[in-house]
Amino acid sequence: METFILVFKVLGFGDLCLYPASFEYYAPASLDEAIDLLNKHREEARVLAGGHSLIPMMKLRVLRPAYVIDLNRVKGLKYIEEKGGEIRIGALTTYYDVITSDIVKRRVPILAECASVVADPQVRNWGTIGGSLSHCDPSGDMGSSILALRAKMVAKGSSGERVIESDDWFVGSFQSALKTGEILREIVIPTPKPGSGGAYLKLERKAGDYAIAAVGVQVTLDGSGSCTYAGIGLTAVGPTNLRAKKAEQALVGRKVDDRVIEEAARAATEDCRPTDDPLRGSAEYKRAMVGVLTKRALNKALADAKRSR
Ligand SMILES: Cc1cc2nc3c(=O)[nH]c(=O)nc-3n(C[C@H](O)[C@H](O)[C@H](O)COP(=O)(O)OP(=O)(O)OC[C@H]3O[C@@H](n4cnc5c(N)ncnc54)[C@H](O)[C@@H]3O)c2cc1C
């Protein structure tokens, strides 16, 4: 986003672009109605959730949808519930809802930790988990926790619903696996087993900023202390949120001691694909930070896992 602002300022378009181009506004009362509208207007339409990415992009004229379909009056998209070994989160659930949910705090604290370092209270009060995942910003924080938890996304379109694995969700920068005419309805997280712990650590230039780099870690230990599950997601160090697969492999099936943690942290520096950027530092620096954050997040997640066995 800041890169866009810079380009607009350099080109002298700054003042011109603080107002969005004109658009028609819809506020459907049901998901089916929203999907009908989306299918009627196809590429010319965008759905609006918290508006904290869509509206700035419209103001900067990066996006000029002719139709905006506001989901905020659609009932049944805002909930966090646990049933049948799964935690289900409605797409319109805000960061604030995630942070304050007892289910999240008890079962998947990584999500609360992650949501609490997104931006500032204004953004957290309005921004939604569904909006963040659909926006697919490689610097978005939620995506890495979702990858660490191996969540699934439930998309609904005119021909029904389909379930998309988190590994298949992040297609490219600002490109999710949603097809034209589909809306993300729900996020489904397998409830972690006893002996699990998680952590999300973010390095930022200043409070409330997007990440220089961030790491989400989720682990499960069995009774003997062996790691039976490891999920690691990386933020802002690749074209999308990334899963650190080599780092996960360094952990699973082993008793995790300091040497194994070092090995996994080193592997995470190989899993990431950072680029140089004038605002947040060189690729080399970000890669080094991925190693540091992975090590710290692992230590925190493992301590929680040991406590919950
Ligand atoms: C000042 C500022 C700082 C920020 N800092 C951070 C940060 O540190 N970390 C971070 O992760 N994010 C940050 N953000 C982004 C913020 O988290 C957004 O809220 C989030 O990216 C988008 O969620 P939203 O609900 O606001 O979606 P919107 O802005 O309403 O929508 C975003 C995109 O997703 C689409 N969309 C929304 N919901 C759905 C759905 N259910 N199905 C299909 N498509 C959908 C929209 O059409 C749009 O293209 C920041 C934003 C601001 C303004």
Report pLDDT for 27.
98
Could you give the domains of the chain?
A: 2-70 (3.30.43.10), 80-190 (3.30.465.10), 196-307 (3.30.390.50)
pLDDT digits (tens, 9 = 90+) for 264-305: 999 999 999 999 999 999 999 999 999 999 999 999 999 999
Position in ligand 1 atom list of the atom nearest CA 49: 30
pTM of the model: 0.95
305 neighbors 255 (Cβ within 8 angstroms): no
Residue 9 has pLDDT above 50, yes or no: no
What gap in Å lies between CA 245 and CA 268, rounded to an integer? Answer: 8
What gap in Å lies between CA 226 and CA 254, rounded to an integer? Answer: 5
Beta strands in 191-223 (DSSP E): 196-204, 211-221
Cα 158 to middle of ligand 1, angstroms: 24
- Residue with CA nearest ligand 1 atom 38: 131
Confidence at 309, pLDDT banded by 50, 70, 90: confident
List CB contacts of 224: < 8 A, sequence separation 6 or more. 255
Mean pLDDT of 4-25: 66
Residue 3 has pLDDT above 90, yes or no: no
Report pLDDT for 133.
98
Cα 297 to middle of ligand 1, angstroms: 25
Sheet holding 242-243, edge to edge: 196-204, 211-221, 227-235, 242-243
Position in ligand 1 atom list of the atom nearest CA 65: 47
Report pLDDT for 10.
45
Token digits of residue 137 = 């910003």
Mean pLDDT of 171-177: 98
Helix (H, G, I), strand (E, B) or coil at 201: strand
Helix (H, G, I), strand (E, B) or coil at 119: coil
pLDDT digits (tens, 9 = 90+) for 125-134: 999 999 999 9
Report the pocket of ligand 1 as residue ranges, CB < 6 Å: 46-54, 56, 91, 118-119, 123, 127-128, 130-132, 134-135, 137, 140-142, 178, 183-184, 210
What gap in Å lies between CA 161 and CA 152, rounded to an integer? Answer: 12
Cα 49 to middle of ligand 1, angstroms: 8
Cα 44 to middle of ligand 1, angstroms: 19
Cα 63 to middle of ligand 1, angstroms: 14
